[in-house]
Structure 1
């Protein structure tokens, strides 16, 4: 499978179609930037001494950071580039395992629904079901993402 895809209009998405991302290693800078942007300086994410005594044994990424990494993979794949009108939300999100600094994560997305919208003639709904895994192929994120995607003119 290729890791970079051409931008897709609504009509080019088919249910069952999949997209695979490249890998990305999570860094110390990611932890700091996410904390700074979100304001979440919880010690489990920012204090190595505190986190060492936790059930995880070291600092872990915030759950929202894990979600942000997954959404980043959607856009990095390229198939939504310059075609998204809006991100409309999610029906579910699970974070079954932690992400640690130094983990290398990647994602696979499957189109689970495409739907015409009576309220829009310029765009349609595309729902992607995603799973992000770490270097050991352990799932660290699962969820769907709903997008409003441009139609061809």
Structure 2
């Protein structure tokens, strides 16, 4: 798959539980990681590790330069994914992440995007107005390398009764 540019991405309309099928997939727009992203995350999180904040230190590591914080890139992935629009306003709650793996570093200047695919849909047994959706999420760079991946679990509304 070719990595998307800012002009080339898949936008989705709102989906409710019954609108989804296993295999549905989307690709977000792309976004470049900046120096400001790294400094801002370091400041508000308190993670001032020199791998992120000290160029001289980072040069001496296996990465050869500073890298973005893994959790900071994950946060940006959340924003990219939400910009697709398919869960707004149908999402009730984000329930968790399963088996998240940080496979490759993300450098300042890398352009990242998210690929997402529905892997599981389960209507609630106790509350008929909702269900669980699991999506496989891949955070990729401009070379289409998967930098982070895992499964996101969301509590999603069923279509409102008047729309059925």
> Which residue of 136, 139, 148 corresponds with 1:129?
136
Structure 2 gaps, min length 5: 1-7
Structure 1 residues 18 and 50, CA, compared in 2 at 3 Å: closer, same or farther? same
Q: Normalising by structure 2, what TM-score?
A: 0.88
Which residue in 2 is equivalent to 1:99? 106
Structure 1 residues 2 and 31, CA, compared in 2 at 3 Å: closer, same or farther? closer
Deviations 1:7-49 (A, max 9, x none): 1111111101111111111111111121122111111111111
State how many pairs are aligned: 153
Instruction: State yes or no: 1:43 paired with 2:50.
Output: yes
Which ranges of 4 or more aligned residues in structure 1 deviate by more than 6 Å? none
RMSD: 1.3
Deviations 1:93-131 (A, max 9, x none): 111100001000111100000001123222110100011
Residue 3 of structure 1, CA deviation: 2.1
For residues 1-153 of structure 1, the aligned pairs below 5 Å read 3-153=10-160
